[in-house]
Structure 1
């Protein structure tokens, strides 16, 4: 697989967009990540990679040549499952549920925190988050990229960043929202407050907010319901070379 020097030429590979992981569109929209293919012209298989080992694999499985063991979180059609299994030490299916906001944004109960848009100077506060919540900036090349992107909102409690929401994937039509709250500050409405600020921001840009989570993540599903998101479909990711 070779990296495409002009990935915008294959933008149609990722259209039409649908709610859920928008890995290809995110790389094209933000520049965070890379797109590879089996050949530079008229590719038959395309592999997109963004931060946090998040991958999108599409096209013809017979044209996909990994060149070594695979590891990461893959969005791929079921036709690629055998190829992924053959090139990894382990493979697990990870069920997902996808929601979309199809109505105006709701108001949420005010919280005892300062909720505001993050700016480049907040990179240090993002970097100070606990390791278990660092994934929130992965698709933005880490805290500096997430802070500089201008799309994240955070809740500050006593001057410290306690919760963050950000479009984890940015597409042309949809933006898929991710949110975290540090463990000592959970169950205080901070996730909903930050995510709702992002929802309103996404709508102001003429795009549709979406929400992806796992069926057993009850807390995440409750926040989505509180904000007015509605279930649109089930999905599946592959955990390749790693445990659930």
Structure 2
């Protein structure tokens, strides 16, 4: 596949779901924030992939794709119709299905009182260094915006601050026109203090004030994430499967291979 400019995405936005909760908001996010666009050819493409923060939406005709053309999607989570599975299986050394769940915020519970000395507020551009100080293990939280500075300046993140340190962050991960799919991270030594819940509720109310609804996406098997979503007023909307790709296959092999 060849990379196209993000500015070309509006011409193909009808290829992707719109105004839907969950990771399908990725295409709308890329239009206005951060991400990449690939196609099988520059003129009248038959297959298109839009990617951000290691997540990919793949649409079009899989017969237009040679497996070697999918190399840019290695090490990604690919959400695509089942007709793409044979070419994905030929392109990568492994393709692992991952069951996922999408929740939508239906209620807005009362936020718990923050612990003494902790303030929950919107993150601003002046908090960039504090956000970056969360470290490499938490860097994924700002990947969909292109870095800590971009997320901090977006106005779409709330944090719990204590003693000059950022203890928890909830942010819009993929911003769509109707839904904002959110993510949260808490410093390991400050978990079980309801800081993530406070940040999520503040962000959910903020999204509502922008005329959008907060959504939440997690693995079916992530019980802690599902419980946090429930306590924050999120209710199950739908389930889906995306595929974690490995390295590009050294040669073409037909079919989907799932390691045991």
Q: TM-score, normalised by structure 1?
A: 0.92
Other-structure match for 1:201: 206
Distance in 1 separating the partners of 2:86 and 2:70: 15
Quote the RMSD (CA, aligned, Å).
1.7
- State which drifts further: 38-47 or 90-99: 38-47
Residue 80 of structure 2 corresponds to residue 111 of structure 1: no
Other-structure match for 1:121: 126
Other-structure match for 1:64: 65
Query: Is the Cα contact below 8 Å between 1:71 and 1:88 reproduced in 2?
Result: no
* CA pair 68-204 structure 1, distance change in 2 beyond 3 A: closer
Describe the SS at the equivalent of 2:19. coil
Distance in 2 separating the partners of 1:19 and 1:175: 7
* CA pair 68-177 structure 1, distance change in 2 beyond 3 A: closer
Query: Is the Cα contact below 8 Å between 1:95 and 1:214 reproduced in 2?
Result: yes
Query: Is the Cα contact below 8 Å between 1:130 and 1:182 reproduced in 2?
Result: no
Other-structure match for 1:26: 29
4+ residue runs of structure 1 moved beyond 6 angstroms?
A: none
Per-residue Cα deviation, 1:30-83 (whole angstroms, up to 9, x for no partner): 1x11212223444321111112x2211111111234526322111112221221
Distance in 2 separating the partners of 1:75 and 1:111: 37
Query: Is the Cα contact below 8 Å between 1:76 and 1:237 reproduced in 2?
Result: yes
Describe the SS at the equivalent of 2:150. helix
Describe the SS at the equivalent of 2:205. helix
- State which drifts further: 129-138 or 185-194: 129-138
Other-structure match for 1:92: 96
Other-structure match for 2:79: 75
Describe the SS at the equivalent of 1:83. helix
Query: Is the Cα contact below 8 Å between 1:29 and 1:172 reproduced in 2?
Result: no
Which of residues 157, 160, 163 in structure 2 aligns to 1:155?
A: 160
Q: For residues 157-236 of structure 1, what are the structure 2 equivalents within 5 Å?
A: 157-236=162-241
Unaligned runs of 5+ in 1: none
Shift of 1:173: 1.1
> How many correspondences in the alignment?
240
Describe the SS at the equivalent of 1:67. helix
Per-residue Cα deviation, 1:7-47 (whole angstroms, up to 9, x for no partner): 212122223332110221110121x1121222344432111
Q: TM-score, normalised by structure 2?
A: 0.87
Q: Please tell me whether Structure 1 or Structure 2 has the larger radius of gyration of its CA atoms.
A: 2
* CA pair 124-74 structure 1, distance change in 2 beyond 3 A: same
Other-structure match for 1:9: 11
Query: Is the Cα contact below 8 Å between 1:101 and 1:208 reproduced in 2?
Result: yes
Unaligned runs of 5+ in 2: 248-258
Per-residue Cα deviation, 1:148-192 (whole angstroms, up to 9, x for no partner): 111111111221001001011011111101001011000100111
Residue 105 of structure 2 corresponds to residue 101 of structure 1: yes
- State which drifts further: 67-76 or 157-166: 67-76
Query: Is the Cα contact below 8 Å between 2:18 and 2:28 reproduced in 1?
Result: no
